[in-house]
């Protein structure tokens, strides 16, 4: 009985959600998780934690860009991680078959619950629903855990750049990955648009 009680107390709820607006403390939670990710060396471009108002502006801006879709991971209702699925610009018809993943992270304190893998799975599903045939991403060589996750999820490395990023005066190697997916094409329907997906 004591073991059952302890297990219940340790149980947590997790979920993955596509956001079109921030509600409650979502923006505060996302900024706090982002700050922790940057401090942990997973800053998706940031080298040090920016002022909070800059972070808030960045995330608000993400929701305003039609070509970007934001998916978040929740732990006990709190946003603890994110990823963006980015559609190629309209003028890039030659590469319109592939979407890009960016700002992929889970805060250090929220790891170990399978949220990172579930974020990638959600991205696979959404990209397929939108008619994409491939998903691309790039990552610093120092992010070994992320690289292992991507490769176990079917991403294949196709290029390496020696001068991918620069931190503390030193260049960091980076890798480029792609995963092929099968688009979901509904009979008589064109690939889903952002607005159509948001109406679901």
The predicted-structure confidence for 103-138, as pLDDT tens digits, reads as follows 999 999 999 999 999 999 999 999 999 999 999 999
- The DSSP bridge partners found for residue 98 are 134
Tens digits of per-residue pLDDT, 56-101? 999 999 999 999 999 999 999 999 999 999 999 989 999 999 999 9
Task: Enter the tokens of residue 168.
Answer: 């503390």
Domains of the chain: 13-198 (3.40.630.30)
CA distances from 72 to 75, 92, 142, 180 (A): 10, 27, 24, 23
- The DSSP bridge partners found for residue 159 are 176
Helix (H, G, I), strand (E, B) or coil at 129: helix
**Structure pTM?**
0.85
CA distances from 8 to 12, 31, 80, 109, 111 (A): 9, 29, 21, 20, 19
Tens digits of per-residue pLDDT, 146-185? 999 999 999 999 999 999 999 889 999 999 999 999 999 7
């Amino acid at each position: 009985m004591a073991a059952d009680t302890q297990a219940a107390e340790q149980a947590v709820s997790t979920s993955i959600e596509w956001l079109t607006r921030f509600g409650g403390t979502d923006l505060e939670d996302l900024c706090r998780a982002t700050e922790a990710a940057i401090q942990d060396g997973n800053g998706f471009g940031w080298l040090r934690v920016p002022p909070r108002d800059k972070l808030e502006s960045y995330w608000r801006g993400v929701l305003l860009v039609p070509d970007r879709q934001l998916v978040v991971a929740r732990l006990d209702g709190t946003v603890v991680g994110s990823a963006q699925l980015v559609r190629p610009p309209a003028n890039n018809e030659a590469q319109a078959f592939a979407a890009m993943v960016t700002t992929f992270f889970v805060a250090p304190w929220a790891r170990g619950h399978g949220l990172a893998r579930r974020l990638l799975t959600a991205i696979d599903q959404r990209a397929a629903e939108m008619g994409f045939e491939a998903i691309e991403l790039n990552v610093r060589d120092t992010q070994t855990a992320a690289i292992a996750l991507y490769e176990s999820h079917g991403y294949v490395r196709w290029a390496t750049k020696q001068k991918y990023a620069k931190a503390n005066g030193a260049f960091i190697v980076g890798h480029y990955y792609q995963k092929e997916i099968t688009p979901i094409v509904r009979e008589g329907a064109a690939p889903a648009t952002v607005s159509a997906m948001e109406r679901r």
